[in-house]
A and B are shown apart, each in its own frame.
Chain A
Amino acid sequence: MKYFTSDPAAEPASVQYTRCTVDLKSGKMQMQDVPCRNLEDVLGGFGRSFQILAERNISQAYCDENPLIVNTGLLTGSSAMTGMRTYFSGYSPIKESKKGLPAAMWSTGSGNFGAKLKWTGLDELIFENRSDKPVYALISETPAGPQVELKPAEHLLGLSTHEKIMSLHKEYGNAHFAAIGQAGEQWQNVYMGAVALSTDNQLKSGDDKIRFAGRGGMGSLMGYKNLLALVAQSSDKIKPLTPEVKAVNINVVKGGGAARLQPISRGGGGGTWAAYDVLQAFHAVPLNNFRPEGNDLPEKLFRSQVEKQYVIKSEACYRCGITCHNNVHEKKEDSSAGGFLAKFDYEPLNLLGTNLGIHDAGQAARLIHLCDNYGMDSISLGVTISYILSFNERHPEQLLLNGATFGDFSRIRELVEQTALGKLPEIGHGSKRLSEKTGETSYAYHVKGLELPAYQPETNPGYAWAIAGGHMSMGTYGLLTREGKSDIDSWVEGITRTKLQIVGFDMIGLCKFFDITKGICTQMVVDCLKSELNLEVTTADLSAAVRRAFLRGLALELRQGYEKSEYTLPAEVWERPNPNIKLPNISSQEFMAELQKRVWEVFEPELGGLLPNSIHE
């Protein structure tokens, strides 16, 4: 980034970012310094990439005109804690409107790739067209500036995410990696391919301790383009910690923001896994395709149970004091840690465990491990499989695929493996398409074509307005459970004002765990921008930019053919209300209808002028 102003909100064009456009068909590269159009462009991430996507007229995800945009945020690679995010954006193979048009989508992950990419001097890569042969892109710093080269990648074909990363690691020192697995290579039959991002821990230990940009099938888009991996090679350029950023980082770790994510041994809450205990108190842990039974089955995957058999190591991305990873290892006879099994975050653990009727930690770990190594989105995979299991439970005379049912580990494992290898497009294409084929759509747990994360839809009508997946782009999932809000005014306010601000993290380069309840419009972020980049930005500027970016995402959904009737929840929640969930009912059809009316009354007048008037055909 080049800064010719300290006031990027007033003078965005005086901030330039360095973009490389790579034509995968011809191999041509174009390096440009691009002036920013607005503060969203300056902040980066999807705030910028969605403006580029809005300029294109895309009617199917797998076409030459659909770009894959890889970028970072303003604070990626800075000394602000969690500043490690990379963003992958494009029109999604999996998320589509009922009209069949692909939705614009972004996905993001931590690990060290984002910082390395930033340190090469490049802020954005746009991959156009597709390569005839498998390639990977090497991005490196040179005295003349960042350089991008395409390299043959036949030797990487068929390798898992982890194997691809480790193979490239042998060739390139001082580098970090982004790679797809076999699933992304099978893009025709797998729309839920993820992008794996390397961590220092992974490269040093050789264990597959990877982070993922999983949602929306960005790994499948990468596979379609025949782009198997990215290598970012540069020296580390972390600035010395200033007193201001140091104070912010201490506040992030010790203040309210991330305390609950800290390891239990440090007095924290033990990461996202703790959601199991809390949601179970309301019988709201998804079980057997989102049908909690009011029993204690979910407790079998409580941390306190798993710890009896396994060693759980609390680990972090390089330099991050939040330490949110819970890595599960075998327990040796002397109680020390044996081989690494899988990382246990709440979403994959639930959606590849309890929600499939799997209550054995070892079996859940095996499924997570397979999903990660093949490179699939654990949310889309888990939820599409749980749909199959639910269908089979309802139709014992008409079983789908291998006839797997809830808890049938060996058959479920077979489904995971076969999906990843492109042999089960029924699963690989996601739950929306599958349920439309079976004709039983009410218990397919997706909204707008993207599978739901592991929070019961009965607890979160806000899912309907999430623009890139239910928990990363609409922060209403705790509004009922945690805050106890069940009145329509609180929900309208949450969806249209406060909780949409969560998407700010997916612009600026920070994890949402930096300060999940307050978002990025805080003095902490203002202080970091001033200290790291000498930029004077107010919290009001940030808030307005985040809101515009969110609304642009909504406008883009409507342009891709979404009808207002698609802003809803899976019909099962009101067709078969679940009496076991011990929370007020806010998912009746009447509540949803009133919410739809009130939310659009706020959003609609603001949607004009956010998209370009003319778009490239």
Chain B
Amino acid sequence: MNVAIKLVGIFQIGRFKEAVHEYPSGTRACDIVAELRIPAPLLGVVLINDVHAGVEDVLNDGDRLCLLPFIDGG
């Protein structure tokens, strides 16, 4: 299945901004996070099709996955 991945902020460094990758069915958001070597403490928000999702959520063909860094404070 194809998943469109969008990375935000520092996650783009050494990776990409947007890309479409192919995965076996049953792939979860956390599998892609691990594949991309995004450190767990830095991951703040997971959006699937623009809706907040859990890192364990399973993706479907054609989904848009967006990974955002953790923010807090000013």
Contact = CB atoms under 8 A, between A and B. Distances in A.
Nearest to B13: A264
A279 B71 contact: yes
Given A454-B74, A471-B74, A481 B9 contact: no
Interface string A449-492: 00001110000000000000001000001100111100000000
B64 to A, nearest CB: 12
Contacts of B44: 260, 278, 482
Contacts of A277: 8-10, 68-69
Interface in A224-276: 255-256, 259-260, 264, 267-270, 272, 274-275
Nearest to B11: A277
Interface in A297-356: 302, 304, 345-347
Given A264-B10, A264-B13, A278 B74 contact: no
A517 interface: yes
Nearest to B45: A482
A278 B10 contact: no
Interface in A417-468: 453-455
Given A264-B10, A270-B10, A582-B50, A259 B41 contact: yes
A260 B72 contact: yes
Contacts of A272: 71, 73-74
A279 B69 CA distance: 10
Contacts of A260: 41-42, 44, 69-72
B4 to A, nearest CB: 14
Contacts of B39: 259, 267
Contact of A478 (B13, B53, B69, B72): B72
Interface string B25-49: 0000000000000010110110100
Contact of A471 (B41, B50, B73): B73
Contacts of B70: 260, 269, 482
B52 interface: yes
Contacts of A275: 71, 74
A209 interface: no
A66 B39 CA distance: 49
B71 A482 contact: yes
A274 B10 CA distance: 8
Contact of B71 (A256, A264, A274, A453): A274
Best-surrounded residue of A260, A267, A478 (most CB of chain B within 10 A): A260
A281 interface: yes
Given A264-B13, A269-B10, A481-B45, A274 B69 contact: yes
Contact of B74 (A255, A345, A484): A345
Nearest to A276: B9
A312 to B, nearest CB: 13
Contacts of B12: 304
A349 to B, nearest CB: 10
Contacts of A483: 52
B66 interface: yes
Contacts of A484: 45, 51-53
Given A255-B41, A259-B41, A516 B72 contact: yes
Given A255-B41, A481-B45, A278 B71 contact: yes
B49 to A, nearest CB: 12
Contact of B66 (A256, A281, A512): A281
Nearest to B50: A582
A100 B10 CA distance: 46
Interface in A272-290: 272, 274-275, 277-279, 281
Interface in A509-539: 512-513, 516-517
A585 B18 CA distance: 27
A74 B73 CA distance: 22
A155 B72 CA distance: 41
A267 B41 CA distance: 10
Contacts of B13: 264
Contacts of B50: 582
Nearest to B41: A259
Contacts of B47: 281
A33 to B, nearest CB: 36
A477 B74 CA distance: 10
A455 B72 CA distance: 11
11 contacts: A255-B41, A259-B41, A260-B42, A269-B69, A269-B70, A274-B69, A277-B68, A304-B12, A345-B74, A484-B45, A517-B72
Given A453-B74, A482-B70, 4 more contacts: A267-B39, A277-B69, A302-B9, A471-B73
Interface of B: 8-10, 12-13, 39, 41-42, 44-45, 47, 50-53, 66, 68-74
Interface of A: 255-256, 259-260, 264, 267-270, 272, 274-275, 277-279, 281, 302, 304, 345-347, 453-455, 471, 477-478, 481-484, 512-513, 516-517, 582
What are the 8 tightest A-B residue pairs by CB atom distance, in nearest-first order? Answer: A484-B52, A277-B9, A259-B41, A347-B74, A275-B71, A260-B70, A256-B41, A278-B71
